[in-house]
Structure 1
Amino acid sequence: MEEASGLVKHVLMAKFKDEITQDQIDQLIKGYANLVTLIQPMKSFHWGKDVSIENLHLGFTHVFESTFESLEGVAEYVSHPAHVEFANEFLTALDKVLVIDYKPTTVNL
């Protein structure tokens, strides 16, 4: 197995509170995506809604994935004023949240 050089994936799974409207969710997602333009270590952002047929989502409905060049980049992102301001708004809209950071590994067959 081969670890991707320094790369770190930051995965956030979320369930929005029932009272949060789709328009509010859309605005929050745009705000999240905009962090890529404001925080240099954040290299990419992807998101999606659960579409699994296995029904193992434990109530989580949305997945947000960001890519960083290093763990130091994740730490810089977490403490960046733009992230702190956004997170304060974003987290109040959530009923459930789970965050995992991992280093991607490729299996060589």
Structure 2
Amino acid sequence: MEEQKGVVKHVLLTKFKDGVPPDQIEQLIKGYANLVNLIEPMKSFHWGKDVSIENLHQGFTHFFESTFESAEGVAEYIAHPAHVEFANLFLANLEKVLVIDYKPTIVRI
């Protein structure tokens, strides 16, 4: 196994509060995606909704993944004023959130 040099993935699993309209969720997701244009250490952003047939989501409905070149980049992102402002708005609309940062490992067989 080979750990990718420096790369860190920042993952959020979320459930929006009941009553948050779909158009508001869409605007929040667009705001989240726009952070990649505002915060240099944030290299990419992906998101999606749970589509699993296993029903093991524990109530989480949305998945967000950002890529950074280093753990220091994640720290810079978290402290960045654009992220702080967005996070306050985003978190106010969530019922549940789980955050995991990890370093991807490549398995070569």
Partner AA of 2:71 in structure 1: L
Partner AA of 1:64 in structure 2: F
Residue number in structure 2 paired with 1:101: 101
Partner AA of 1:61 in structure 2: T
How far 1:57 sits from its partner (Å)? Answer: 0.1
Q: In structure 2, how many angstroms separate the alpha carbons of the residues matched to 1:69 and 1:35?
A: 15
How far 1:108 sits from its partner (Å)? Answer: 1.4
Q: In structure 2, how many angstroms separate the alpha carbons of the residues matched to 1:92 and 1:74?
A: 21
Q: In structure 2, how many angstroms separate the alpha carbons of the residues matched to 1:9 and 1:77?
A: 12
Partner AA of 1:41 in structure 2: P
Residue number in structure 2 paired with 1:77: 77
Secondary structure of 2:47's counterpart equals strand
**For this pair of structures, how many residues does the alignment match?**
109
Q: In structure 1, how many angstroms separate the alpha carbons of the residues matched to 2:4 and 2:76?
A: 20
Q: In structure 2, how many angstroms separate the alpha carbons of the residues matched to 1:55 and 1:7?
A: 30
Q: In structure 2, how many angstroms separate the alpha carbons of the residues matched to 1:27 and 1:51?
A: 21
> In percent, how many aligned pairs have the same letter?
78
How far 1:25 sits from its partner (Å)? Answer: 0.1
CA RMSD between the two structures: 0.3
Q: In structure 2, how many angstroms separate the alpha carbons of the residues matched to 1:108 and 1:32?
A: 33
- Residue deviations 1:7-27, cap 9 Å, x none? 000000000001100000000
Residue number in structure 1 paired with 2:62: 62
Task: Give the gaps of 5 or more residues in structure 1.
Answer: none
Task: Give the gaps of 5 or more residues in structure 2.
Answer: none
Residue number in structure 2 paired with 1:13: 13
